[in-house]
């Protein structure tokens, strides 16, 4: 009998996850299928109950439901609770457990490109859900983190929450503090864009203020994956820095979810090929 998984969100039709997961299921000969599951905000609790009733293997959860699903679950993993968001639900015999695979996916993506985050100095742009996962991942690797956000109050909240789970609290800077930001970036090994700035269709936008110089020794990781070559990545390459796009994190958060559902190693290269194939068509 087919085991179903899918993506719960609103909207979901632009997702690349079905291609990625269905290619992996086919490759391993698993009778599993990944579906798009558009769920309106008012229906989230019913949808979670439906996962149990319909005996789904689990689901991914995306915007705007990553927090709203939490009260309806039977358990939440520490990491997901610390990040404050669930992006993957696993159904184990009717018990629904919430996970967050973004942090692990980010670390795997970094390692895939040969970047060792352990103990590094990192600047993270953004204070939304993606930034929280990245900050959590970096702190777990004993990185020294500075969170930079347009709305500095949101960055303070992320830093304080992180401080409750780790021994050190990240530093915080407003995006407008250009001089301090330039100093933090000059001292950093890693710059992560975890904002939505530069995402299609606003491809000319740059999350980093003009006038800030990137050194050739920094790694710039842009979580934006559409377009693949963002304005920030172009700027990093022009500076001779290492530039990495967001496709790797998309891939690896999916690979971690795949492994949680199926308890099999994810065929990562098959999944990558499926993602890139879709990417070249869009």
- Check 16, 65, 66, 108 and give the catalytic one: 66
CA–CA separation, 169 vs 140, rounded Å? 12
C-alpha angle 126/278/129, rounded to 5°? Answer: 20
SS3 content of the chain, % helix, strand, coil (to 5): 40, 20, 40
Q: Which C-beta is closer to ligand ATR: that of 67 or that of 229?
A: 67
CB of 207 to ligand ATR, least distance (A): 6
CB of 197 to ligand ATR, least distance (A): 5
CA–CA separation, 119 vs 209, rounded Å? 26
Beta bridge partners of 95: 92
Q: Which C-beta is closer to ligand ATR: that of 22 or that of 196?
A: 196
CA–CA separation, 93 vs 72, rounded Å? 16
For ligand ATR, the nearest residue by Cβ is: 128
Q: Which C-beta is closer to ligand ATR: that of 37 or that of 155?
A: 155
Residue 33 appears among annotated catalytic residues: no
Which residues would be at the binding site for ligand ATR (CB under 6 A)? 126-131, 149-151, 154, 195-197
Q: How buried is residue 53: exposed, middle or buried, by Cβ count under 10 Å (0-12/13-18/19+)?
A: exposed
Q: Which C-beta is closer to ligand ATR: that of 127 or that of 185?
A: 127
CA–CA separation, 279 vs 19, rounded Å? 11
- Give the residue numbers annotated as catalytic, written as ranges: 66
């Amino acid at each position: 009998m087919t085991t179903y998984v899918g993506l719960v969100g609103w909207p979901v039709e632009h997702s690349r996850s079905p291609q990625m997961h269905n290619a992996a299921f086919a490759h391993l000969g698993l009778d599993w299928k990944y579906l798009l599951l558009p769920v309106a905000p008012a229906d989230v609790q019913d949808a979670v109950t439906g996962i149990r009733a319909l005996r789904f293997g689990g689901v991914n959860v995306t915007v705007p439901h990553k927090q709203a699903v939490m009260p309806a679950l039977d358990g939440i993993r520490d990491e997901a609770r610390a990040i404050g968001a669930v992006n993957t639900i696993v159904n184990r015999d009717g018990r629904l457990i919430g996970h967050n695979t973004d942090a692990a996916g980010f670390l795997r993506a970094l390692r895939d490109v040969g970047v060792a985050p352990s103990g590094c100095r990192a600047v993270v742009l953004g204070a939304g859900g993606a930034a929280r996962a990245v900050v959590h991942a970096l702190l777990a690797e004993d990185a020294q983190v500075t969170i930079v956000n347009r709305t500095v109050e949101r960055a303070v909240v992320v830093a304080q929450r992180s401080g409750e789970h780790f021994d050190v609290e990240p530093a915080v800077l407003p995006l407008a503090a250009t001089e301090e930001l330039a100093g933090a970036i000059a001292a950093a090994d890693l710059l992560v864009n975890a904002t939505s700035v530069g995402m299609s269709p606003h491809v000319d936008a740059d999350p980093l203020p003009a006038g800030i110089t990137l050194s050739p020794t920094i790694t710039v990781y842009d979580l934006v994956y559409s377009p693949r070559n963002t304005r920030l990545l172009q700027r990093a390459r022009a500076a001779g820095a290492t530039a990495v796009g967001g496709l790797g994190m998309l891939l690896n958060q999916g690979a971690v979810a795949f492994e949680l559902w199926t308890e099999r190693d994810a065929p990562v290269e098959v999944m990558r090929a499926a993602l890139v194939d879709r990417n070249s068509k869009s």
